Amino acid sequence: GMDIKGTSAIVTGGASGIGAAVARQLAARGAIVVVADLQAEKGEALAAEIGGVFAQVDVTSTEQIAAAVKAAAEIAPLRSVVNSAGIGWAQRTIGRDGQLESAHDLDSFKRVVAINLVGTFDVVRQAATVMSTQEPTESGDRGAIVNLASVAAFDGQIGQASYSASKGGVVGMTLPVARDLSAAAIRLNTVAPGLIETPIYGEGPESEAFKAKLGESVLFPKRLGTPDELASMVVECLTNSYMNAETVRVDGGIRMP
Ligand code: NAD
């Protein structure tokens, strides 16, 4: 596998939830992590805890992504990039009232796609450009990238057009982008979480609707996943040199009707 000790990593959305768990696990393996997030206070605290660096990044800003990629590559060779920045349930203001008009609000749709899909692609694009100029590691990898999709990519819940479309796009880009990057010995995989206990749901996990959703899952285990359970799969995808172009569900077998 790819040894990441002493190399740099970028985790977008690294201040919270799955991204924060990934940042901690990468740091535990000796990587120097650039925590790239909108949230400065949480991001700086985590960076201090794990001996990393915080970078204020809105993934809809090409310039801010460029600055974070440059900062990471100046620390050490950039081997690992994880796109965990995303918005979903809590920020979703569309469709909760069941009205088609609000469910299909165009500005909301564009915003979710801009962050979850276009932002992810921009990070991949810029990080891969820098990675491609680096010497390969002993395992032959120049670097590896993991994008966070969602089981929503394969599903269709009410009010979720923007979210499912954005995550479907992340799944859809996995194979073609992995093909594009293979000549540079850069691997790309996607991890699709089920229902994970993070702040993304806001009050969601406490709500009746959320409990009903979990209850509808017919498979074991009937509980939320933990950020660490996701992060360990992300780290596996990054460091296992034979993992490429794959989308892996980590969802406890949940299937939503
Ligand atoms: P989270 O809310 O805990 O963390 C997301 C982070 O992204 C936050 O720190 C937030 O500040 C940051 N962020 C949001 N918009 C940003 C932007 N424009 N630029 C930079 N950073 C931004 O959420 P999480 O649950 O850890 O989610 C991580 C990823 O996993 C997301 O892409 C999410 O869609 C996906 N996911 C989560 C679940 C789940 O159940 N929690 C399920 C499926 C997919």
- The predicted-structure confidence for 204-254, as pLDDT tens digits, reads as follows 666 676 677 677 666 777 888 999 999 999 999 999 999 999 999 999 988
Non-local (6+) Cβ contacts of 29 within 8 A are 4, 5, 235, 239
Residue 187 contacts residue 178 (beta carbons within 8 Å): yes
| Cα 167 to ligand 1 centroid, rounded to whole Å | 12
pLDDT for 3 equals 97
Question: Whole-angstrom Cα distance, residue 184 to residue 103?
Answer: 42
Active site residue 242: no
Sorted by where each begins, the domain ranges of the chain are: 8-250
* Ligand 1 atom 32: residue of nearest CA: 86
Query: Angle of helix 161-182 relative to helix 120-131, nearest 10 degrees?
Result: 10
Q: Which residues line ligand 1 (CB under 6 A)?
A: 12-13, 15-19, 37-39, 57-60, 84-88, 115, 148, 150, 193, 195-196, 198-200
Classify domain 8-250 at the CATH superfamily level. Answer: NAD(P)-binding Rossmann-like Domain (3.40.50.720)
pLDDT for 91 equals 40
Q: Residue 59, Cβ neighbours under 10 Å: how many?
A: 25
Q: Which segments of the chain have a pLDDT < 50?
A: 90-95
pLDDT for 90 equals 35
Question: Whole-angstrom Cα distance, residue 76 to residue 78?
Answer: 6
Q: In what order do the strands lie in the sheet with 32-37?
A: 53-56, 32-37, 8-12, 78-83, 143-148, 186-193, 247-250
| Cα 148 to ligand 1 centroid, rounded to whole Å | 9
